[in-house]
Amino acid sequence: MEYNLLERGGLRILEARGMIRNGETGRLRAAISRNSPFDELWLYSGGGSSQEGVEMGRLIRKRGLAVRIPRGAACFSACSMVFLGGALRAVDPGGYYGVHMWTRWGDIKRASSVVEFIRSLTEKNVPEDLIVAEVSKLFQSIERRNAEYARQRANYLIEMSVSLRLMIPNVRTEAKDQYWLCPNEMRKYNVSNY
């Protein structure tokens, strides 16, 4: 992300723009230190690393910062987790907050790895019942990781005083899509709180 300090209407605004990459929490920490004091952190991001987004949100909460998605900006995917860290959270009319289902399998390479795994078993003439057992173990491992991620996501929502009902549009929206919350939903789920 890029961090820029602006003056708007007598307020000092720290803008955060771009993708959330591994190590972004450290870059945000440095930008906060370099630009303090400021009144609000404005977010413009299409996401990135979900776990990094959670850590950024925790840093924002620890610092007691106000966050905003200004008019014309979008904050979705991993950015939605960053936003929830704000002690005060606002989405301006014409600003967009979006969520979707998390996945590690949207990448064709990951899905191809499962096909390759099965292919390697069949090429080694492994008996079918053992292939079924190995594939079953693989899918159970995937299910456990997804359940653990859902648990972590739910705990984070609780930690940030956000309704667990926010999980509904998360899990009902495919990873390749976005669900844009309306102002009423943002208030109902306590996504925006001022």
Answer yes or no: is 120 within a domain: no
* Residue 122 placed within a domain: no
pLDDT (0 to 100) of residue 105:
60
The C-alpha atoms of residue 179 and residue 173 are separated, in whole angstroms, by 6
Please write the tens of the pLDDT for every residue from 34-93: 999 999 999 999 999 999 999 999 999 999 999 999 999 999 999 999 999 999 999 999
Q: Is residue 89 part of a domain?
A: yes
pLDDT of residue 80: 97
Predicted local distance difference test score (pLDDT) of residue 46: 93
Residue 24 lies in a domain: yes
What's the total number of domains in the chain? 1
Burial class for 18, CB neighbours closer than 10 Å (0-12, 13-18, 19+): middle
pLDDT in tens, 92-147: 999 999 999 877 665 667 778 888 888 888 888 889 898 889 889 988 988 898 88
Residue given tokens 């956000």 in the structure block: 162
- pTM of the entire structure? 0.87
Residue numbers of the domain that contains 94: 2-104+165-188
